[in-house]
Chain A
Amino acid sequence: MPLDSSVVPWLCWALPAVGSLVPLAIRGGSARAKGLPVVLFTFVSMVLALSLLPSLSGSGYSDVQAFWFSLPGGGSVGMGMLVDPLSVIIVNVVAFLCFMIMVYSLKYIEGDPSAGRYWFLMSLFVGGMLLLILADNLILFFIGWKLVGLCSYGLIGYYYRDEREHWIGGPAPHPFQKPSRAGLKALLVTTFGDVALLASVIMIYIYSGTFNFMELYQTSTAWLSQMAQTPGLLAVVCLLFVAGPLAKSAQFPFQEWLPDAMAGPTPVSALIHAATMVKAGVYLVARILPVFFVAYWVMSPGLSEALVFFYAVAAAGAVTIVLGATQAMVALELKKVLAYSTISAIGYMMLSLGVSGLSPASLVEGLYAGIYHLINHGVYKAALFLCAGIAIRASGSIYINEMGLSRRSMRPILVFMVIGGLALAGAPPLSGFWSKEGILMSCLESGQYLLFAAASVSVIVTIFSVIRVLGIMFDDRQHGAGASAAASPSHESECHGGKGHSGGAPALMLLPCGVLAALTLVISGVGPWLGGSLKSIFEGYLVETLELPLASMVPAHALSEGPSLSLILFASSVVMIVIGALPAYRLYIQHKWSASEILARHRPLLVIHGLLWGRYYLDAIANRVLVGWTLAARSPIAKYLEGTMDAAVNVGIPSLIGAASRNLRRIQTGILSVNMLYFVAIIALLVLLSLWMGVP
Chain B
Amino acid sequence: MGPSYYLAFVFALWAVGIYCLATKRNMLRMIFGLEIMINAANLSFISLATGVPGFVDPLAHSIVIVSIGLSGGVSAVAITLVVYAYRQYGTLDIRELKRLRG
- Interface residues, chain A, CB within 8 Å of chain B? 665, 668-673, 676-677, 679-680
> In the bound complex, do residue B22 and residue A676 qualify as a contact, i.e. CB atoms below 8 Å apart?
yes
**Distance between Cα atoms of A647 and B18 in the complex (Å):** 49
Chain A's nearest CB lies how many Å from the CB of B52? 26
A437 to B42, CA, bound (A): 95
Q: How far is the CB of B55 from chain A (nearest CB, A)?
A: 30
- Given A665-B102, A668-B101, A668-B102: A673 touches B23 (CB 8 Å cut-off): yes
Contact A671 B22 (CB under 8 A): no
Name the prevailing secondary structure of the A interface residues. Answer: helix
Residues of the B chain whose Cβ atoms lie less than 8 Å from the Cβ of A668 = 101-102
Rounded to whole angstroms, the CA-CA distance of A680 and B24 in the bound complex is 15
Query: Which residues of chain A are within 8 angstroms of B94 by Cβ–Cβ distance?
Result: 671-673
Give, as a whole number of angstroms, the nearest-CB distance from A181 to chain B. Answer: 53
Contacting pair B18 A670 (CB below 8 A): no
A673 cross-chain contacts in B, Cβ below 8 A: 21-25, 94-95
**Binary CB contact string for chain B from 69 to 102 against chain A (1 if under 8 A, 0 otherwise):** 0000000000000000000000000110111111
Asked if B64 is an interface residue, CB under 8 A from chain A, the answer is no
Partner of B18, one of A671, A672, A680: A680
Q: Is the CB of B102 within 8 A of A679?
A: no
| Chain B minimum-CB-distance residue to A672 | B94
B10 within 8 A of A: no
Q: Does B46 contact A (CB under 8 A)?
A: no
Residues of A within 8 A of B30 (CB): 672
Which of B21, B95, B102 contacts A671, CB < 8 Å? B95
CA distance A679 to B37 in the complex (A): 13
List 20 extra interface pairs beyond A673-B24, A676-B22, CB under 8 A: A665-B102, A668-B101, A668-B102, A669-B98, A670-B98, A670-B99, A670-B102, A671-B94, A671-B101, A672-B21, A672-B30, A672-B95, A672-B97, A673-B21, A673-B94, A673-B95, A677-B22, A679-B18, A679-B21, A680-B22
Ordered by A's residue number, 29 sampled pairs between the chains whose C-beta atoms are within 8 Å are A665-B102, A668-B102, A669-B98, A670-B97, A670-B98, A670-B99, A670-B101, A670-B102, A671-B95, A671-B98, A671-B101, A672-B21, A672-B30, A672-B94, A672-B95, A672-B97, A673-B21, A673-B22, A673-B23, A673-B25, A673-B94, A673-B95, A676-B18, A676-B21, A676-B22, A677-B22, A679-B18, A680-B18, A680-B22
Please measure, in the bound complex, the distance between the C-alpha atom of A679 and the C-alpha atom of B99, giving whole angstroms: 21
Min CB–CB distance B33 → chain A (angstroms): 9
**Within the assembled complex, what's the spacing in Å between the Cα atoms of A679 and B18?**
8
Number of A-B contacts (CB under 8 A): 36
Write out the residue numbers on chain A whose beta carbons fall within 8 Å of the beta carbon of B97: 670, 672
**How many Å lie between the Cα of A680 and that of B21 in the bound state?**
10
Quick one: closest A residue to B98, CB to CB?
A670
Q: Please indicate which of the listed interface residues B25, B94, B101 has the most CB atoms of chain A within 10 Å of its own CB.
A: B101
Q: How many residues of B contact A (CB 8 A)?
A: 15
CB distance from B85 to the nearest CB of A (A): 11
Name the residue of chain A whose CB is nearest to the CB of B22: A676
Nearest Cβ in chain A — how far from B102, in angstroms? 5
Tell me the minimal C-beta distance from B92 to chain A in angstroms. 12
Distance from A552 Cβ to chain B, minimum over Cβ atoms (Å): 78
Assembled-state Cα–Cα distance A669/B102 (Å): 7
Partner of B100, one of A665, A670, A676, A679: A670
Q: How far is the CB of B44 from chain A (nearest CB, A)?
A: 16
Q: Chain B's nearest CB lies how many Å from the CB of A530? A: 78
0 or 1 for each of B15-46: is its CB under 8 Å from A? (1 = yes): 00010011111000010000000000000000
User: Which residues of the partner chain B approach A671 to less than 8 Å between Cβ atoms?
Assistant: 94-95, 98, 101
CA separation between A671 and B18, bound complex, in Å? 15
A674 to chain B: closest CB distance in Å? Answer: 8
Task: Give A668 to B102 CA distance when docked, in angstroms.
Answer: 5
Q: How many whole Å from B77's CB to the nearest CB in chain A?
A: 16
A552 to B43, CA, bound (A): 87
CA distance A672 to B99 in the complex (A): 11
User: In the complex, what's the smallest C-beta–C-beta distance from B36 to chain A, in angstroms?
Assistant: 13
With both chains docked as a complex, state the minimum distance between the C-beta of A683 and any C-beta of chain B, in angstroms: 8
* Chain B residue at smallest Cβ distance from A670: B101
> CA separation between A673 and B25, bound complex, in Å?
8
A-side contacts of B101, CB under 8 Å: 668-671
Q: Are A679 and B95 in touch, CB under 8 angstroms? A: no
Docked complex Cα distance between A372 and B101 (Å): 75
Q: Which residues of B contact A670 (CB under 8 A)?
A: 97-102
Write the nearest CB–CB distance from B96 to chain A, whole angstroms. 9
Chain B residues contacting A665 (CB-CB under 8 Å) are 102
Closest chain-B Cβ to A661's Cβ sits at a distance in Å of: 10
Considering only CB atoms, which chain A residue lies closest to B95 in the complex? A671
Q: Least Cβ distance of B24 to chain A in Å?
A: 8
Q: How far is the CA of A665 from the CA of B101 in the complex (A)?
A: 8
Contacts of A677 in B (CB 8 A): 22
Please, how many angstroms separate the alpha-carbon atoms of A669 and B101 in the complex? 5
CB distance from A464 to the nearest CB of B (A): 82
Complex Cα spacing A676 to B30, Å: 11
Q: List the A residue with the shortest CB-CB distance to B20.
A: A676
Q: For the complex, give the distance between the alpha carbons of A88 and B3 in Å.
A: 80
Residues in chain A near residue B98, CB distance under 8 A:
669-671
Bound complex: CA of A398 vs CA of B101, how far in Å? 73
**Nearest Cβ in chain A — how far from B29, in angstroms?**
11
CA distance A677 to B98 in the complex (A): 16
Interface centre among A669, A672, A679 (most CB of B within 10 A): A672
- Chain A residues positioned under 8 Å from B100 (CB to CB): 670
Chain B neighbourhood of A680, CB < 8 A: 18, 22
- Scan residues 52-74 of chain B and give those whose CB is less than 8 A from a CB of chain A: none
Instruction: Give the CA-CA distance A671 to B101 in the complex, in Å.
Output: 8
- The CA-CA distance from A665 to B94 in the complex, in Å, is 20
Residues in B with CB closer than 8 Å to A669 are 98, 101
Residue in A closest to B14 when the chains form the complex, CB atoms: A683
Docked Cα-Cα span, A673 to B26, in Å, equals 11
Nearest first, the 4 A-B pairs at minimum CB distance are A670-B101, A670-B98, A676-B22, A676-B21
Cα(A677)–Cα(B23), bound, Å: 9
The distance from the CB of A686 to the nearest CB of chain B, in whole angstroms, is: 14
